Amino acid sequence: MVSTRKLVGMAAAAALIFTATACSSSTSSGASGNCVVGVSWNNYQEERWAKWDEPAIKAALTKAGCSYISNDAKSSTDTQLSNVDALINQGAKVVIILAQDGTAIEPAVKKALDAKVPVIAYDRLIEDPGAFYITFDNVLVGKMQATAVLAAKSSGNFVIIKGNKADANADFLRQGMVEAGVPAVGATDPSGKINIVGETYTDNWDPATAQTEMESFLTKNSNKVDAVISENDGMAGGVVAALQSQGMAGTVPVSGQDGDAAALNRIALGTQTVDVWKDARMLGDGAGQIAAELAKGTTLDKITTDKYGNSAIFKSPGGNSLNSILLTPQAITKDNLQIVLDAGWIDKATLCKDVAAGAVKGC
């Protein structure tokens, strides 16, 4: 498998801060002036985009003297293609794209780049060396998920619930699982300890679909499932619901990622084992600041941050070299829930809902 983490000069994760000189533009809201940044959301209905990512992007742009415009593709690849055009027509000088499909979006990216409009691939890979790629280290996320599940259950029948097939992150996460000791797709564990009895991609990372998938795997295996590696929190919720219906929730380790409030509560309750937290405030802040730099003419290879230095080169599965910044995630388990409380990511009442006092640290 092609390595996805050939990166140079990355430091430990911390708040993503660099000095972004204000663009030469009006600071009024809307698509006015020369520092207008457009964001194409793939599906704005997902919890984190409105709650964390968008406010951080907006704050960084405002600080840099830029304005913000956006639209929502509502999980449609065709709509997103036209949405990118619409942002440029509205005056966007830089476009941040959260791709529904990293391949299908390429014509819109090429069109933007041909029009001298820089593109930021936000959170999800776009296979174009002309785009700047900012995300968390998704291979590491998958490794953290599998490591925590394996610490709870080192052998037995495993189910793997992957995300959307068109999203490169699904395969990056799966690669990380292999690094942690989970057999690769189609491979057999030479030690005989891990038997993968179910594995599937999940359209649009949909929780309801994940629940149906998990129910099917439970039926197929007569409930003989010992662990589930779910690639995100929404799908983990579907997995836990399927386990609950069989009286198995809390006895089968389950993973997730994103730091969703419901998932962190499941960590406290004991029905989810690990939630790999990616502080979306860092990602949004970084993307906003990078967009402001690009809008004023900074080239991709000159993007710098106080914490990370120059952008690194990311070698993609498609053989492209992209200027990129990968942020480091944090695995959250019942033993370190205080981290998300101290960060103000979640309040104690939400985290500890229905949790017996003193059952876990932080509650």
The letter for the amino acid at 351 is L
64 Cβ contact partners less than 8 Å away, ≥ 6 residues apart: 20, 21, 22, 23, 35, 288, 289, 292
Q: pLDDT of 306-328, one tens digit each?
A: 454 457 899 999 999 999 999 99
How far is the C-alpha of 28 from the C-alpha of 285, rounded, in Å?
20
Q: Look up the CATH number of domain 138-272+333-351.
A: 3.40.50.2300
Element containing residue 308 per DSSP (H, E)? none
**What pLDDT was estimated at residue 337?**
97
| Arithmetic mean of pLDDT over the chain | 90
- Strand partners for 230: 161
Residue 350 predicted with pLDDT over 60: yes
* Domain boundaries, given as residue ranges, for the chain: 36-136+279-328, 138-272+333-351
Structure tokens at 121: 């691939």
Mean pLDDT of 267-286: 96
* Residue 363 to residue 355: CA distance in whole angstroms: 7
Neighbours of 215 (CB within 10 A): 17
- pLDDT tens for residues 125-168? 999 999 999 999 999 999 999 999 999 999 999 999 999 999 99
Would the CA dihedral through 13, 93, 318, 122 be positive or negative? positive
Instruction: Find where tokens 């990355």 sit.
Output: 10
Do 159 and 217 meet the contact criterion of CB atoms below 8 Å apart? Answer: yes
pTM: 0.86
Cβ neighbours, 10 Å, residue 330: 18
Question: What secondary structure letter does DSSP report for 35?
Answer: -
DSSP track, 79-134: HHHHHHHHHHHTT-SEEEE--SSTTTTHHHHHHHHHTT--EEEESS--S-TTSEEE
* DSSP code per residue over 186-217: T---TTS-EEEEEEE--GGG-HHHHHHHHHHH
According to CATH, the superfamily of the domain at 36-136+279-328 is Response regulator (3.40.50.2300)
- Which residue is associated with the tokens 């900012």? 134
Q: What is the pLDDT of residues 30-54, one digit of tens each?
A: 444 689 999 999 999 888 899 999 9
For residue 175, what is the DSSP state?
A: H
User: Residue 303 has what pLDDT?
Assistant: 86
φ and ψ at residue 259, rounded to 5 degrees: 75, 30
Confidence at 23, pLDDT banded by 50, 70, 90: very low
DSSP one-letter code for 181: T
Domains 36-136+279-328 and 138-272+333-351 share a fold: yes
| Distance from the Cα of residue 82 to its chain's centroid | 24
Residue 86 DSSP label? H
